[in-house]
């Protein structure tokens, strides 16, 4: 009898184990070391609860935010996602000048969301690339004091063990006089400041966060070897640096930082890659094919737990970004609005095999405006003198970056080009009556005018997204904690019964 009971017990344990795997594959299993950046500079942002579910469904266990927006923070409550919470650069001066200001910020944006909403905040990122050369030293006097004051505020709030302080820096804070990683050191104009910051991080047990963009290296230099931007073994132009050989720019860039840390006595400081990715539009090299190749290579490294020649332990990595942001500044280039691995609405741009073995899945429960588009009227003449001003107006108040050279809509003829601009404005205005006017040059159509790689969008209806088509992240059986508690109860009961 006991043998039969034992066999039945083992049978049910196997079934339960399979249930756990199934549940985890539905978004409960997070990939160690992989996070994403969640930017919100969008005219029609994907609703935050849907965005949180999108991250979980695709195995992201960590998320980096650029500021504490209430609608985002509340959605992250009890989600199981670890949060790196950013502080915008414009806040650095008041935080540096006053410990009280830092205490108020921590109380409002850290303590409040941890205690009241259950947000798992692990890091406070003080500033965002504050030492960029174009800033001309604007934040050099305030970044480090702000970090110190935030640390003091976290200690006072009793959160210093749970929440660490870091600073996300651009890779331009270090350089190599010879181009070899082994000669890496921090920029001369901020060397002393970097020593103070890195010493503070090491003594506190905090990580340094660095943003590395191989795409920007390629984009900035017409002579840059394109293959060197990707994780392609056997590249035709490897860099040999003593005992180390570098076949891609990420390894060389990252190890230049490691060499700089080692040279100055801080070789044990943890490093996080806060931003890394590849855009899909707005430039001739910003293509879906290149983005897939780069990000898949990056994820494959995570799957293999692969580090760099100088540091075998791989860093935590936050992919930039999760979703396209059509209201982001395009000062660096039109590609700035197209870094997402998902489109603005959470639909998949390209297949990626995640380290947990699953392919990217789209957002669930997204609601759209009516399926209609604003286009140039078939009766309108392309020589009409009002067209130029109408297109300029439309693009001034919407996103026309996909029309640029080398972009996904660059192949459109003149009529379709005008139609694209008209529709972008029409959608940005929520298809409101009168927003498809344009001096009687335009009409509304129910036929999708998309052509080839050029998508004529219909925007998200931000007021009416559907919350009922997916399970809430903090309710029901498919809450991860609830799953384990339920299984533990069943297994314990089966073991008692088998006796």
The model scores a pTM over 0.85: yes
Q: Over the stretch 197-215, which tens digit does the pLDDT of each residue have?
A: 999 999 999 999 999 999 9
Q: What is the pLDDT of residues 73-90, one digit of tens each?
A: 999 999 999 999 999 999
Rounded to 10 degrees, the C-alpha dihedral 274/276/281/282 comes to 70
Q: pLDDT (tens digit, 9 = 90+) per residue, 436-466?
A: 999 999 999 999 999 999 999 999 998 776 4
The reported pLDDT for the residue numbered 489 is: 39
Q: Which of 31-40, 178-187, 460-469, 473-482 has the lowest average pLDDT?
A: 473-482
The model's pLDDT over 159-184, given as tens digits with 9 standing for 90+, comes to 999 999 999 999 999 999 999 999 99
CATH number listed for the domain at residues 31-337 = 3.20.20.80
Q: Which segment of 2-6, 132-136, 274-278, 393-397 scores lowest on mean pLDDT?
A: 2-6
Helical spans, DSSP H, in 329-413:
386-396
Residue 494 has pLDDT above 90, yes or no: no
3-state secondary structure of 111: helix
Q: Higher confidence at residue 335 or residue 232? A: 335
Beta strands in 179-280 (DSSP E): 184-186, 208-211, 239-241, 244-246, 271-276
Q: Which residue has the tokens 């990715």?
A: 277
**pLDDT at site 234:** 65
Q: Where are the domains of the chain?
A: 31-337, 373-445
- Name the catalytic one among 32, 69, 103, 129: 129
* Helix locations, 309-446, DSSP H: 386-396, 414-428
pLDDT band for position 237 (cuts 50, 70, 90) = confident
pLDDT band at 6 (very low <50, low <70, confident <90, very high): low
Percent of the chain with pLDDT over 90: 84
Condensed to tens digits (0 to 9), the pLDDT of residues 268-302 reads: 999 999 999 999 999 999 999 999 999 999 999 99
**Whole-Å CA distances, 144 to 160, 242, 246:** 17, 35, 33
- In tens, the pLDDT along 110-120 reads 999 999 999 99
% of residues, the chain, pLDDT over 70: 86
Tokens 């990595």 found at: 317
pLDDT number for residue 30 = 61
Hey, is 391 helix, strand or coil? helix
Q: Which of 103, 275, 325, 336 is catalytic?
A: 275
234-259 average pLDDT score: 92
Q: Is residue 90 annotated as a catalytic residue, yes or no?
A: no
Question: Is 275 among the catalytic positions?
Answer: yes
Which residues of 187-257 form beta strands (DSSP E)?
208-211, 239-241, 244-246
């Amino acid at each position: 009898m006991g043998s039969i009971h034992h066999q039945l017990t083992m049978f049910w344990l196997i079934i339960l184990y399979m249930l756990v795997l199934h549940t985890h594959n539905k978004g409960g299993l997070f990939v160690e070391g992989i996070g994403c950046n969640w930017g919100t500079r969008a005219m029609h942002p994907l609703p935050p609860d849907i965005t949180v579910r999108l991250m979980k469904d695709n195995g992201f266990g960590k998320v980096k935010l650029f500021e504490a927006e209430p609608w985002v923070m509340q959605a992250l409550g009890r989600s199981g996602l670890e949060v790196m919470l950013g502080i915008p650069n414009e806040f650095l001066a008041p935080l540096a000048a006053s410990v009280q200001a830092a205490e108020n910020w921590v109380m409002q944006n850290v303590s409040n969301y941890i205690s009241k909403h259950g947000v798992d905040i692990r890091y406070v990122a003080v500033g965002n690339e504050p030492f960029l050369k174009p800033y001309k030293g604007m934040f050099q006097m305030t970044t480090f004091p702000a970090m110190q004051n935030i640390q003091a505020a976290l200690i006072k709030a009793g959160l210093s063990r749970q929440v660490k302080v870091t600073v996300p820096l651009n890779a331009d804070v270090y350089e190599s006089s010879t181009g070899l990683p082994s000669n890496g050191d921090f920029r001369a104009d901020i060397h002393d400041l970097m020593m103070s910051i890195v010493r503070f991080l090491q003594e506190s047990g905090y990580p340094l966060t660095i943003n590395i963009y191989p795409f920007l290296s390629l984009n900035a230099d017409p002579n840059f070897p394109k293959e060197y931007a990707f994780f392609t073994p056997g590249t035709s132009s490897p860099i040999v640096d003593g005992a180390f050989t570098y076949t891609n720019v990420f390894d060389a860039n990252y190890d230049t930082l490691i060499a700089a840390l080692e040279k100055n006595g801080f070789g044990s400081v943890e490093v996080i890659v806060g931003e890394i990715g590849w855009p899909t539009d707005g430039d001739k090299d910003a293509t879906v094919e290149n983005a897939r190749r780069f990000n898949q290579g990056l994820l494959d490294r995570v799957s293999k737990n692969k580090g760099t020649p100088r540091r075998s332990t791989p860093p935590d990595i936050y992919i930039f970004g999760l979703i396209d942001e059509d209201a982001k500044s395009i000062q660096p280039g039109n590609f700035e609005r197209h870094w997402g691995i998902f489109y603005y609405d959470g639909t998949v741009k390209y297949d990626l095999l995640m380290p947990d073995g699953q392919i990217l899945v789209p957002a669930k429960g997204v609601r759209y405006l009516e399926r209609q588009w604003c286009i140039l009227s078939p009766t309108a003449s392309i020589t009409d003198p009002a067209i130029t001003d109408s297109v300029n107006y439309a693009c001034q108040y919407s996103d026309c970056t996909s029309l640029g050279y080398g972009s996904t809509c660059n192949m459109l003829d003149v009529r379709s080009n005008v139609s694209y601009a008209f529709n972008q404005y029409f959608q940005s205005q929520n298809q409101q009556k009168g927003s498809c006017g344009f001096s009687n040059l335009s009409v509304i159509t129910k036929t999708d005018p998309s052509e080839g790689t050029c998508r004529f969008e219909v925007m998200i209806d931000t007021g009416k997204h559907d919350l009922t088509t997916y399970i809430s992240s903090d309710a029901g059986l498919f809450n991860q904690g609830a799953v384990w508690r339920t299984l533990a109860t069943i297994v314990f009961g089966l073991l008692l019964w088998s006796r």
